[in-house]
A and B are shown apart, each in its own frame.
Chain A
Amino acid sequence: AQSVTQPDIHITVSEGASLELRCNYSYGATPYLFWYVQSPGQGLQLLLKYFSGDTLVQGIKGFEAEFKRSQSSFNLRKPSVHWSDAAEYFCAVAGTNAGKSTFGDGTTLTVKP
């Protein structure tokens, strides 16, 4: 069975500081990995995805993530956080068969001025 762990429930960073959100997954083969962002009362927006190839993927809004098979991780990074980045972030994994995604519990990002 596939699973996702986001170890950090809540992270606070200062505006302009760098950000890294952690994600660890469990899946028997090469997974499809995603990061989504959710603003309060809204649906989820896809930030980036990894299927294969280059392990460093670029996404929207200046985000990037690195797939590390040896660590079963897919951490999300941003070099300089903006106040508008405050939101809930979800990591997800999908298998190749059913295609269903399993979501982590999410990380709440707070940005201090």
Chain B
Amino acid sequence: GAVVSQHPSWVICKSGTSVKIECRSLDFQATTMFWYRQFPKQSLMLMATSNEGSKATYEQGVEKDKFLINHASLTLSTLTVTSAHPEDSSFYICSARVPGGHEQYFGPGTRLTVT
């Protein structure tokens, strides 16, 4: 149980375009999902906390107009990187928290490359 999927697993886009990444909880309803960014050989950097039916809470320094997060249902959260630039190239990982719990279950990640 507690499986989280991400789509796509890998995407290449041109500078200036937008990319949408989906995060789904497959076998449970997740009222809270998290979006992280991870650079090579580094730890996870929390970008935002996504709560179903409300606006996401962004961490300090994260541009909310650039990284649009939508948590429209209890099983789906999306991250849209708008007007992507090469410096946005990274590994993006989502996680979902089981209702009433504190542990997070992670998706497999999405590798974004902006050319």
Contacts and interface: CB of A to CB of B under 8 A. Distances in A.
A100 interface: yes
Given A34-B103, A43-B108, A105 B43 contact: yes
B14 to A, nearest CB: 23
A34 B49 CA distance: 19
B77 interface: no
Interface in B38-55: 41-44, 46, 49
A35 to B, nearest CB: 11
Interface in A18-34: 32, 34
Given A44-B93, A46-B103, A99 B108 contact: no
Specify the main secondary structure of chain B where it touches its partner. Answer: strand
Contacts of A108: 41
Interface residues of B, number: 23
B43 A104 contact: yes
B44 A100 contact: no
Contacts of A105: 42-43
B102 A32 contact: yes
Interface residues of A, number: 23
A94 interface: yes
B109 A43 contact: yes
Given A46-B103, A51-B102, A41 B46 contact: no
B96 to A, nearest CB: 11
Interface of A: 32, 34, 36, 41-46, 49, 51, 90, 94, 96, 98-101, 103-106, 108
B87 to A, nearest CB: 21
A100 B106 contact: no
B43 A43 contact: no
Q: Please provide the 5 A-B residue pairs with the shortest distance between their CB atoms, ordered closest to farther.
A: A43-B106, A44-B106, A32-B102, A43-B108, A105-B43
Given A49-B103, A99-B97, A42 B43 contact: no
A43 B93 contact: yes
A99 B46 CA distance: 12
Contacts of B108: 42-43
A90 B44 contact: yes
Nearest to A4: B43
